[in-house]
Chain A
Amino acid sequence: MTLKEIKKLLQAEVIYGIDRLEEEIQWAGGSDLMSDVLAFGKPGILLLTGLTNAQSVRTANIIDAKAIVYVRGKKPDKEGIKLAREKEIPIFSTKYMMYTACGLLFSHGLPGVSKIQNNK
C-alpha cells in the first residue's frame, strides 16, 4: 500500500514528507508503548502511535520504520518533527483513534507484524 493510499484512507494530514507519497509500505504496527515497538517492530514498518514525544520518532528511526502515523489528531513535539526531517521519516496525523485507524488499513490489505506463537 502506498503512503498516498494510507493518507487517503485515514484522511490524514501530512506533517512531513509530502514528496514521498508514492512509497510503498509492506506492514504496519500500532502501539503507544515504545518498549513493544523496539521488541516487535520490523524494518520498513509503518508505525501508528499516540505517543508524541521525541522518543516516538527516535524509536521509529532506531528500528528503521518507514513512516509514522499519529492517531487521534496528535502531532509529534518540535524535537520529534526536527528529527523526522533530518532522518527523512514521513509523518502523518489522522483524526481517527488507534483502533479505527489500524482497522481501516488492515481491512484494506495492509498486514500487521504480529506473529502468533502457537505452542505446538
Chain B
Amino acid sequence: MSTENGLSKRFEITGGDFGKAGSISTKIKEILQEIGINSTIIRRTAIATYEAEMNVVMYAKKADLTLHLTPAEISIRVYDEGPGIENIEMAMQEGFSTATDEMREMGFGAGLGLPNIKKNADRFEISSTPGKGTALDITIYLNQEGKK
C-alpha cells in the first residue's frame, strides 16, 4: 500500500508462534532491499525489527507492526496486546530478562533485545500499560550525515 507521503505496510505478529518468529522482519528486510536502501541502514532496521518481533512472539498475545517509509526516515511501530512491562527502566537494562527455559533453548532470552533496539535506532520510544500492552516506536534516518 502506498500513500502520497511514502510507503506504508502493516503486518500482524502472532504471540507464541515460534515457528514463524522472525519471518516478518525477514520480509521487511526484503522490501527495503528491493527499494535499494543502503545496506547498513537496512541491517540496523532489520535487527531492531527482529528484536521487537521476537519480543512479541515471546511475551505478547499479538501485535500490529507498521513499516512506514518516507524520503527522510524509516519508521517501525510495534503495538502489542499483552502483559505490558511493569518497569521499563529495568527492562531496558542489558541482562534483564524474564525469558523461560523454552525461550532460552530457542536461542533467545539474554536480556539484550531492547538495549539492542535502542542501539540500532536513531530514535526509540517505548511505552507500556501493564495488563494491556506495549508500544515501540523505532526510527532510523535515511540520511545519516551528522547523525548516528
> Interface on A for B, CB 8 Å cutoff?
32-36, 38-39, 43, 49, 51, 53-56, 58-59, 61-64, 79, 83
Contacts and interface: CB of A to CB of B under 8 A. Distances in A.
Contact of B107 (A35, A43, A63): A35
B29 A61 contact: yes
Nearest to A52: B107
A27 B22 CA distance: 25
B114 to A, nearest CB: 11
A49 B119 CA distance: 24
Contacts of A33: 104, 107-108, 110
A71 to B, nearest CB: 14
B19 interface: yes
A79 B22 CA distance: 12
Interface of B: 18-19, 21-23, 25-26, 29, 39-40, 43, 46-47, 50-51, 104, 106-113, 115-116, 119
Nearest to A40: B112
A36 B112 CA distance: 7
A110 B136 CA distance: 38
- Closest 9 CB pairs between A and B? A35-B110, A58-B22, A34-B107, A35-B112, A51-B107, A39-B112, A62-B46, A39-B116, A62-B50
Instruction: Tell me if A's interface is mostly helix, strand, loop or mixed.
Output: helix
11 contacts: A34-B107, A35-B109, A38-B50, A38-B112, A39-B110, A39-B116, A55-B108, A56-B107, A58-B23, A58-B25, A79-B19
A53 B104 CA distance: 12
